[in-house]
Amino acid sequence: MISTKGRYALRFIIDLAEHPEDAPVPLDEIASRQEISKKYLENVVKILVKGKLVKGTSGKGGGYRLLRKPDEYTVGEVLELAEGTLAPVACLAKDAEPCERAPFCKTLPLWKKYHQMQQDFFFGITVKDLIDGSVDTDSVIQFASAGAPV
């Protein structure tokens, strides 16, 4: 399940992309538009700054801005930064210890296929796609039911 942290991180990035003013966008404005507590959003934004997805400036005229164009951000990278691994099981997480059961695990192929579908899905959609409304829900349903190759 994607937590509020992940969902709010995505909403924050989308908001910045939709307001590409020359000046940084103040956190107050984004929090107000997105109806998110400024205090909670501050914690989410720290993660995005640390992950080098956005840049913050302080002081008068300060705020946040994207470091890249909206079509260069994927939903997957924003969610992984906010949530940590999106792997459905520990053995598929990046830098996971090799699992002793892998050679005879009957469920591993299932988790691998699901993880690949999830990766293909989230990393195949950009922030620009979300802004443009070009994520076709019919093809998403077909994608999910057809499954991606492992």
Are residues 82 and 75 in contact, defined by beta-carbon separation less than 8 angstroms? no
pLDDT tens by residue, 73-131:
999 999 999 999 999 999 999 888 988 998 999 999 999 999 999 999 999 999 999 99
Reported as a pLDDT band with limits 50, 70 and 90, residue 136 is confident
In the chain, where are the structural domains located?
4-66, 85-146
Per-residue pLDDT, averaged over 50-73, amounts to 93
**The Cα angle at residue 147 between residues 141 and 149, in degrees rounded to 5:** 150
User: In this structure, is the dihedral angle defined by the CA atoms of residues 7, 127, 112 and 84, taken in order, positive or negative?
Assistant: negative
How much is the pLDDT for 17?
Answer: 94
Residue 56's H or E segment, with its range, is strand 54-57
* Architecture of the domain delimited by 4-66: Orthogonal Bundle (1.10)
Are residues 112 and 92 in contact, defined by beta-carbon separation less than 8 angstroms? yes
pTM score of the predicted model? 0.85
